[in-house]
Amino acid sequence: MCLLLETIKVTNKLLQNIDFHNERLNRSRFELLKCKDEIDLAKEVEIPAVLTSEVYKCRVLYSKQIEKIEFQPYLIKPIQALKIIEANEIEYAHKFADRIHLEQLKSGLFPYNDILIVKNHCITDTSYANIVFFDGKNWLTPDTPLLRGTKRSQLLQKQAIQEQRIRLEDLPRFQHAKIINAMIDLEESPIISIDNIVLKA
């Protein structure tokens, strides 16, 4: 089986949102590999002394145990436009390191920054993030994500966003959207105009 992956934000040499990463890692190990023991990433991940106070991406590759830990400097990618892609067969309930099936959906992406995946007429995720939509009052996230991201789970717990069934035909009722993931907080995510989320043949 392909290695699994946790991507953890490191800010000021501190691991962020670690409880949610622990929960997902150990749930995946149990559901896929039948591991009943638990790994505590806070104990397993050692922050290198050479890291500065800037933002880093910590990639933890694992199966039954942790296989590799690496750190990379991180900057949020500019994102202004999304291409809607329909993919009714896609599954990504667990965060695997091998993302080839997601990358294949991005064929012919230019001039868009990323894709927005629609499955069975329901909005799911972009290729690397969950998505939230602003209706003028609240931030709403689809209740049909491909992957239940750690940032999404945290924001739902804090009631900063709400979960709702969002279909393709619902998009015009929203003002704009943002993407969220372990590396991108809601407040720092670039605004994407709904007019820039486009279904192309």
Residue-wise pLDDT tens digits, 109-167: 888 999 999 999 999 999 999 999 999 999 999 999 999 999 999 999 999 999 999 99
Q: Where are the domains of the chain?
A: 4-73, 82-199
Fold type of domain 4-73: D-amino Acid Aminotransferase; Chain A, domain 1 (3.30.470)
* Weakest-pLDDT range from 84-88, 125-129, 168-172, 196-200: 196-200
CB burial of 88-111 (b: ≥16 within 10 Å; e: otherwise) equals: eebebebbbbeeeebeebeeeeee
Residue 131 parent element (H or E): strand 130-134
Residue-wise pLDDT tens digits, 60-119: 999 999 999 999 999 999 999 999 999 999 999 999 999 999 999 998 888 899 999 999
Quick one: pLDDT at residue 201? 56
What would the CATH number be for the domain defined by 82-199?
3.20.10.10
pTM of the model: 0.95
Helices (H), the chain: 18-33, 41-44, 100-104, 150-157
